[in-house]
Structure 1
Amino acid sequence: MAQIKLFLTVGCTTIARTTSNFVPQIPVITLLSDLGTNHPAISNAKVMLTKHLADTMVVDVSHRITTYNLQQAAYLSQSAYQHFPVGSIHLLLVDVLSGERHRMLLCKVSDHYFLAPDNGVLSLAFGRQPNEVWLCREFSGTVSIAQWIGYANQVISVIHEDRDLNNYFSRFLIKEVAQIMMQKPIGARLDCTVLHIDRYGNIVIDFTKDRFDELIGDGPFSIKLPREEEITKVSDHYNDVPTGDLLCRFNSIGLLEIAINHGSATSAFEFDIATDKGINYSVITINF
Structure 2
Amino acid sequence: MFLKGKETPPRTIGLLTDFGVTDPYVGQVKAVLARKAPACPVVDISHRVEPFNVAQAGFFLASSYMHFPKDAVIMAVVDPGVGSDRRIVGVQIGERMLLAPDNGLLALALGNAWTEEVRAFDLTVAVEARGKVARTFHGRDVFAPLAAWIALGGEPGSLGAEIDPADLVAPGWARPSVKPGKAVAHVLHIDRFGNCVLSLEAGTLPAAGRVDLVSPAHGELAFTATYADMPDGKPGLLEGSQGFMEIAVNQRSAARQLGLSMGDRVEFAWEE
1:119 and 2:103 matched: yes
Residue deviations 1:103-142, cap 9 Å, x none?
3211111211111112221234313999411122344796
Q: CA deviation at 1:77?
A: 0.4
C-alpha spacing 1:128/1:28, structure 2 compared with 1 (3 Å) = closer
Which whole-Å CA distance do the structure 2 matches of 1:263 and 1:37 have between them? 28
C-alpha spacing 1:107/1:284, structure 2 compared with 1 (3 Å) = same
**Matched letter for residue 172 of structure 1:** I
Which whole-Å CA distance do the structure 1 matches of 2:259 and 2:136 have between them? 37
Q: CA deviation at 1:263?
A: 0.9
- TM-score, normalising length: structure 2: 0.79
Q: Which residue of 2 aligns with 1:195?
A: 188
Matches within 5 A, 1:145-160: 145=137, 147-160=138-151
**Matched letter for residue 252 of structure 2:** G
C-alpha spacing 1:90/1:284, structure 2 compared with 1 (3 Å) = same
Number of corresponding residues = 253
Which whole-Å CA distance do the structure 2 matches of 1:243 and 1:108 have between them? 44
Q: Which residue of 1 aligns with 2:3?
A: none
C-alpha spacing 1:123/1:99, structure 2 compared with 1 (3 Å) = farther
Q: CA deviation at 1:195?
A: 1.8
Identity %: 25
Of stretches 147-156 and 187-196 in structure 1, the one that deviates more from structure 2 is 147-156
Residue of structure 1 aligned with 2:48, choices 49, 64, 67: 64
Which whole-Å CA distance do the structure 2 matches of 1:194 and 1:227 have between them? 13
Which whole-Å CA distance do the structure 1 matches of 2:217 and 2:34 have between them? 52
Whose relative contact order is higher, 1 or 2, with alpha carbons under 8 Å and at least 6 apart? 2
Structure 1 SS opposite 2:204: helix
Q: Which runs of 5+ in 2 are unaligned?
A: 1-8
CA contact 1:190–1:287 (8 Å) conserved in 2? no
Q: CA deviation at 1:243?
A: 5.4
**Higher-strand-fraction structure:** 1
Q: Which residue of 2 aligns with 1:180?
A: 172
Residue of structure 1 aligned with 2:199, choices 179, 185, 206: 206
Q: Which residue of 1 aligns with 2:6?
A: none
Structure 1 SS opposite 2:87: strand
Matches within 5 A, 1:29-44: 29-44=13-28
Q: CA deviation at 1:245?
A: 3.8
CA contact 2:10–2:151 (8 Å) conserved in 1? no
C-alpha spacing 1:83/1:185, structure 2 compared with 1 (3 Å) = closer
Q: Which runs of 5+ in 1 are unaligned?
A: 1-24, 274-279
Matches within 5 A, 1:88-99: 88-95=72-79, 97-98=81-82
Q: Which has the larger radius of gyration?
A: 1
Residue deviations 1:254-283, cap 9 Å, x none?
32111111111111222223xxxxxx3522
Residue deviations 1:162-183, cap 9 Å, x none?
3543233321346452321544
Q: Which residue of 2 aligns with 1:19?
A: none
Which whole-Å CA distance do the structure 1 matches of 2:246 and 2:44 have between them? 24
Residue of structure 1 aligned with 2:247, choices 258, 264, 278: 258
Which whole-Å CA distance do the structure 2 matches of 1:228 and 1:102 have between them? 39
CA contact 2:92–2:119 (8 Å) conserved in 1? yes
Matches within 5 A, 1:134-149: 134-138=121-125, 139=127, 143-145=135-137, 147-149=138-140
Which whole-Å CA distance do the structure 2 matches of 1:272 and 1:254 have between them? 20
C-alpha spacing 1:156/1:222, structure 2 compared with 1 (3 Å) = closer
Q: CA deviation at 1:206?
A: 2.2
C-alpha spacing 1:148/1:195, structure 2 compared with 1 (3 Å) = closer
CA contact 1:108–1:132 (8 Å) conserved in 2? yes
Q: CA deviation at 1:80?
A: 1.0
